[in-house]
Structure 1
Amino acid sequence: MSYEGKVVIVTGSSAGIGAAAAKLFAQEGAKLTLTGRDVERLRQVESECERLSGVRPLVIAADVCADDAARAVVDGTAEHFGRIDVLVNNAGTSSITNILAPDYLVEYDRIMATNLRAAVVITHAALPHLVKTKGNIINVSSMGGMSPAAGIGHYCTSKAALDQFSRCVALKVAPKGVRINTINPGPVRLNIFRSICLSNEQRQANEKHLPSEFILEPEEVGNLMLYLASDKARSITGSSFVIDVGALLIGANTVMKTIWKSN
């Protein structure tokens, strides 16, 4: 799959799935816009992508939760490269809380702003460019959008909404040649889980509770993304692709309790 001449935006590309995907796109010759809040890590990913592709990525340090910042990512990419072919809405976050917690609404608003609204704003800004190139969007969702978990109900809600948003927009823009799909990963080896008190040791000790007895590596999600964003997937739009080592078979709530030790 060659992405020579293609321009790809990857949000949340300083680590995890976003960083892995950016490197894979770079390896296939894509011109990249990398964006995130951690400038030091973005620069590390930038260097690796430049080594792989020979083309220096455009780096935009931004919090895409801010509407103006999200739009600036799109505008900056179009100005710098002259086109946009693929948008990867990967930026996301999570936390552990529940509806009975005193600060639940604060956390709910924070998660929805990052996981849903930011993707909506940047999609709205990018679509005119994607119509011109007959490009496509990959929204990184979660198995949590398909299966409830009490400790991350706000997160599950944000991802379910992202799935439905993606389908609705896919239906609208399909006649214009633009495709939109979601990838719904299960448990992935990510730094994000440190923020919700999940150490590598805790996860590794409990991987045997998953049907496949291991968790995903970010590169596995990136490889699926590479296919869905390519012309080989030209007939696929409005679909959700689960990649979860079988975790959906036991449900997100069970995964939270057995793998992530959530109450």
Structure 2
Amino acid sequence: MDLLNSFLNLVVPPASLVMLAFAWPALCFVNGCEWLYNNFYSENMEDKVVIITGASSDIGEASSFQIAYEYAKRKANLVLVARRENRLPGISQNARFMGAGHIITIAADVVKEEDCRRFVSETINVFGRVDHLVNTASLGHTFFFEEVTDTSIFPRLLDINFWGNVYPTFVALPYLHESNGQVVVNASVENWLPLPRMSLYASAKSALVTFYESLRFELNDEVGITIATHGWIGIEMTKGKFMLEDGAEMQWKEEREVHVAGGPVEDFARLIVSGACRGDTYVKFPSWYDVFLLYRVFAPHVLNWTFRLLISSEGARRTSLIGTGRPLLEGPPARPRLEGTSPRQVLSSPSSFFSQYSPSSSFSQYSP
């Protein structure tokens, strides 16, 4: 058996690449025909009911705003769910101006199953149905794992990024079955392309994508699942700005380990909603990131070298202290301090923000 596996290890990868190269034109043609067909028969969202979790943000017209607005342009009825309901009237007013039908706002925490049951029940009581469930709650970070001194943030990161998507889906599925509805999940390219300083975030997103890919087979197309993955998104956090909870410090981070320009949030939101209405299984922004999959499988060393070239090599480790449990003015210690009382837990209450990640951001914010 070992001899057979050794032989297959040598033969299967190159043979598969050759077959893929010859089949690529035909696959592109088939995908193009499928895209045209799905566009022609795209779902009409007028008077349909869409639940959007994590529908508030501290930072400008963020992606969760834009997703609500894209559904509003399609004249859908919206249920906007956020931890802080006072953030939602502005979004609701704009969405109504853009063409949304009825809009209700609900304060709820998607990490709590009872809250999820409450906002789904309220949706059914008001509209009698659910057609799309859009999960946008997410929380990222940019600290090195070994620098953490307050591990209480660990379960919070995983709860928001994983259970904050699973619980609403679990509760809404019976009603989505009735409408042959769609689940839209926010993920990230890091679910398969891990980057430095994103270990917990990447792990949670990887678990999330695996969950929904498995669930897709269980549902057997009775409920569609659209997994949206993004790379760099053009929001203020990619320009060095972030905000914590109301009244907390506002910090600017001018130094970046990777200098990139993100794509417009509006484009990503438009792709997500269009893909969900077409019933696409994946929405990728941008799609050229997929080429790294080949490097990861067949030339992982090349991929590692590329990242090392992109990351600053000036010697001193530059990192955000947000989420590490140390004061902002305190430099990184020689070794992590996991015992005793943390000097100050900066992340006392994560702020509201749609899923995003950027190597230049100091902390992605939470928005259930």
TM-score normalised to structure 1 length: 0.83
Greater fraction of residues in helix: 1
- CA change 1:106–1:48 in 2 (3 A) is same
Q: Percent identity?
A: 24
User: Which amino acid in structure 2 is aligned with residue 186 of structure 1?
Assistant: G
1:167 aligns with 2:209: no
User: Which amino acid in structure 1 is aligned with residue 230 of structure 2?
Assistant: P
Query: Which residue, out of 29, 34, 37, partners 2:83?
Result: 37
- CA change 1:225–1:102 in 2 (3 A) is closer
Query: Which residue, out of 98, 107, 110, partners 1:64?
Result: 110
- Following the alignment from structure 1 to structure 2, what is the Cα–Cα distance between the partners of residues 27 and 253? 40
TM-score normalised to structure 2 length: 0.61
- CA change 1:55–1:174 in 2 (3 A) is same
1:66-215 mapped onto 2 (5 Å cutoff): 66-103=112-149, 105-175=151-221, 177-190=222-235, 194-195=242-243, 199=252, 209-210=259-260, 214-215=261-262
- CA change 1:178–1:245 in 2 (3 A) is closer
Q: Give ranges in structure 2 of 5+ residues lacking alignment.
A: 1-41, 245-249, 293-302, 313-358, 363-368
RMSD (Å), alpha carbons: 3.0
- CA change 1:253–1:67 in 2 (3 A) is farther
How many equivalent residue pairs?
Answer: 250
Conserved? CA contact 1:136–1:180, under 8 Å: yes
- CA change 1:86–1:148 in 2 (3 A) is same
- Larger Rg, first or second structure (1 or 2): 2
User: Which amino acid in structure 2 is aligned with residue 121 of structure 1?
Assistant: Y
- CA change 1:135–1:261 in 2 (3 A) is closer
Equivalent position of 1:22 in the other structure: 68
- Following the alignment from structure 1 to structure 2, what is the Cα–Cα distance between the partners of residues 243 and 23? 19
Conserved? CA contact 1:7–1:81, under 8 Å: yes
- Following the alignment from structure 1 to structure 2, what is the Cα–Cα distance between the partners of residues 57 and 141? 26
User: Which amino acid in structure 2 is aligned with residue 178 of structure 1?
Assistant: V
- Following the alignment from structure 2 to structure 1, what is the Cα–Cα distance between the partners of residues 77 and 309? 37
Query: Which residue, out of 42, 46, 56, partners 1:4?
Result: 46
Q: Shift of the alpha carbon at 1:181? A: 1.9
Which is bigger in relative contact order (C-alpha 8 A, separation at least 6)?
2
Conserved? CA contact 1:10–1:87, under 8 Å: yes
